[in-house]
Amino acid sequence: MTFRLYDTATREVRDFVPLEEGKVGLYVCGLTVQSEPHVGHVRSGVNFDVLQRWLRHLGYDVTFIRNITDIDDKILIKSAEHGRPWYNLAYAMHRELDKAYDALNVAPPTYEPAATGHVPEMVELITELIGRGHAYPAEDGSGDVYFDVRSWPSYGELTHQGVDDMEPAADADPRGKRDPRDFALWKGWKKETEPETAAWPSPWGPGRPGWHIECSAMAGKYLGPAFDIHGGGVDLRFPHHENEQAQSRAAGRPFATYWMHNAWITTAGEKMSKSLGNSLTIPAVLEKYRGIDLRFYLVAAHYRSHVEFSFEALEEAAAGFARIESFLQRAGADETADGQLPQAFVDAMNDDLGTPAAVAVLYDAVREGNRLLAAGDDATAVAASVDAMLDVLGLHPADPAWAGSGSSAQDGKLRSAVDVLVAGLLAERAAARKAKDWARADAIRDQIKEAGIEVEDTPAGPKWSID
């Protein structure tokens, strides 16, 4: 089976055919760095990371561009509220985002361009659009430049909407627009309210980029006029992606061949951005849960399915993942073994990244491996296969990428210290068991458990682990 993808533009699962054999150009809309990243934000990161890894597994040479938007209205407003320069806020949040990605083993893209570094490319694109009659400088002297929606007949094609059916924005600022649906490509500098550092020179006077033009310009620069896959969250379909496509095509660039959109994570039925809380920011969640558990939770759901986030569900996922890890430990993974991916796993992944079915295959393998171990047989081949599956999902516990979240050198030292202490108690318990003094043996086990350490008797002797 070849790799197939659900394409939002055509609303169907299509065979993936790259523009150039063996190569994939992938563009994903990253974040506007205006606040700490939350669980919803990283879902997109994890989803597209899985896509990237799978494409690489399939042998594609992937150029993956994921931008960040480091200047916009909200950044300016928030930074003013906090009394810090906008670029300082954007930079700080950008660093937080990188930390969150690292904690979830989201591999860096080929490049992560920032909007503010690509003003010349945007100016060039806007100039081209004006030249072709698809954009115009506002007539009110504001310095804004708008895209002329009416001049582009296929506007609305990505989201299958007719221009006349669109609800005119309630908050649309009509200043200088020919049609309320026209959108800003360039925003003139507002001297009175905006810092001078937030304005760049342009043929239309000082100003800053409109949101949509950034992505068109950056995708064009790094991936060329036509590329394979464009991704982002569902909320970006309209207006952001619709506008990106319109302005790119209006400038004579074919743009993306496939559109992928990941669904939401909600809490209490509400979209995360609307619902309160700092309790769901990545730093906060990572205080209680490991990054690998959170990633597993996210990967176990299909990227196009809505997920209702709950800590209970996260805990269930973590419990399940613990079983996988414990199998690998018991099987004694052979690092040299070149694990094969089961065909069912490959088929699941090829079918629009069917990670839920892929995870089911993973569990099947774990059960089979445990069965072999219970029968006293060799399970290293199965373990190698489990290794391979976890690897391609970015979930391998031994991946050094996880080092920062839970198993540092410090932990190692602590562990060996505890080991010495527990070993003494276990020797005492062993003596009691030998004398069939079960009460004494159980008392020792309970004592150890009081300290939060679980003791298991295995054929190879007692083992302890921290709860």
Partner RNA sequence: GGUGGGUUGGCCGAGAGGCGAGGCAACGGACUGCAAAUCCGUGUACACGGGUUCAAAUCCCGUACCCACCUCCA
Query: Is residue 172 within the footprint of RNA (CB under 7 A)?
Result: yes
Are 24 and 62 within 8 A, CB to CB?
Answer: yes
DSSP letter at 236 equals G
| Residue 176 token pair | 């200088």
DSSP letter at 69 equals B
Are 144 and 189 within 8 A, CB to CB?
Answer: no
DSSP 392-405: HTT--TT-GGGGGT
Helix (H, G, I), strand (E, B) or coil at 186: strand
Closest CA to 31 of 115, 125, 122: 115
Please state the closest distance from residue 409 (CB atom) to RNA, in A. Answer: 27
Query: Residue 82 CB: number of other CB atoms within 10 A?
Result: 11
Cα distances (angstroms) measured from residue 375 to each of 104, 179, 246, 371, 386: 36, 74, 62, 6, 19
Q: Which is nearer to RNA, 46 or 388 (CB)?
A: 46
Cα distances (angstroms) measured from residue 420 to each of 113, 387, 423, 448, 457: 50, 31, 5, 13, 18
Please state the closest distance from residue 257 (CB atom) to RNA, in A. Answer: 19
Q: Which is nearer to RNA, 365 or 388 (CB)?
A: 365
Residues within window 307-346 making contact with RNA, judged by CB under 7 A: 307-308, 310, 312-313, 316-317, 319-320, 323, 326-327, 330
| Residue 416 token pair | 């060996």
Query: Is residue 363 within the footprint of RNA (CB under 7 A)?
Result: yes
Q: Which is nearer to RNA, 227 or 264 (CB)?
A: 264
Residues within window 424-443 making contact with RNA, judged by CB under 7 A: 433, 438, 441-442
Please count the residues of this chain forming the interface with RNA, following the rule CB under 7 A: 96
Closest CA to 390 of 368, 367, 411, 366: 366
Select the residue interacting with RNA from 2, 83, 192, 274 (CB under 7 A).
274
Please state the closest distance from residue 32 (CB atom) to RNA, in A. Answer: 4
Give the phi and the psi of residue 329 in degrees, each rounded to 5.
-65, -45
Q: Which is nearer to RNA, 210 or 342 (CB)?
A: 210
Query: Is residue 176 within the footprint of RNA (CB under 7 A)?
Result: no
Q: Which is nearer to RNA, 289 or 363 (CB)?
A: 363
Please state the closest distance from residue 211 (CB atom) to RNA, in A. Answer: 3
Query: Is residue 134 within the footprint of RNA (CB under 7 A)?
Result: no
Contact region with RNA (CB under 7 A), list: 220-228, 249-257, 356-364, 389-397? 356-364
Q: Which is nearer to RNA, 18 or 64 (CB)?
A: 64
Q: Check the annotation: does 244 bind a ligand.
A: yes
Query: Is residue 264 within the footprint of RNA (CB under 7 A)?
Result: yes
Residues within window 141-170 making contact with RNA, judged by CB under 7 A: 149, 159-163, 165-170
Select the residue interacting with RNA from 20, 139, 140, 364 (CB under 7 A).
364
Cα gap 238→166, rounded to integer Å:
11
Residues within window 230-259 making contact with RNA, judged by CB under 7 A: 232-239, 243
Q: Which is nearer to RNA, 378 or 442 (CB)?
A: 442
Tell me whether strands 12-15 and 23-28 are parallel, antiparallel or unpaired. Answer: unpaired
Q: Which is nearer to RNA, 18 or 44 (CB)?
A: 44
Please state the closest distance from residue 117 (CB atom) to RNA, in A. Answer: 17
Residues within window 17-56 making contact with RNA, judged by CB under 7 A: 29-32, 34, 40-41, 43-44
Query: Is residue 450 within the footprint of RNA (CB under 7 A)?
Result: no
Q: Check the annotation: does 274 bind a ligand.
A: yes
Are 309 and 280 within 8 A, CB to CB?
Answer: yes
Select the residue interacting with RNA from 11, 59, 335, 420 (CB under 7 A).
11
Residues within window 191-230 making contact with RNA, judged by CB under 7 A: 210-211
DSSP 108-167: --SB--BGGGGHHHHHHHHHHHHHTTSEEE-TTSS--EEE-GGG-TTTTTTTT--GGGSP
Q: Which is nearer to RNA, 18 or 104 (CB)?
A: 104
Are 453 and 466 within 8 A, CB to CB?
Answer: yes
Cα gap 175→156, rounded to integer Å:
23
Q: Check the annotation: does 240 bind a ligand.
A: yes
27 forms beta bridges with: 65, 230
Contact region with RNA (CB under 7 A), list: 17-25, 135-143, 300-308, 411-419? 300-308
Q: Check the annotation: does 288 bind a ligand.
A: no
Please state the closest distance from residue 370 (CB atom) to RNA, in A. Answer: 3
Contact region with RNA (CB under 7 A), list: 82-90, 128-136, 263-271, 388-396? 263-271
Q: Which is nearer to RNA, 216 or 243 (CB)?
A: 243
Query: Is residue 281 within the footprint of RNA (CB under 7 A)?
Result: no
Q: Is 357 exposed, middle or buried (0-12, 13-18, 19+ CB in 10 A)?
A: middle
x/- track of binding to RNA for residues 76-115 (CB under 7 A): ----------------------------------------
Query: Residue 180 CB: number of other CB atoms within 10 A?
Result: 14
Element (H, E) at 350: helix 343-350
Residue ranges for the binding site for Zn(2+)?
29, 215, 240, 244
Residue ranges for the binding site for ATP?
274
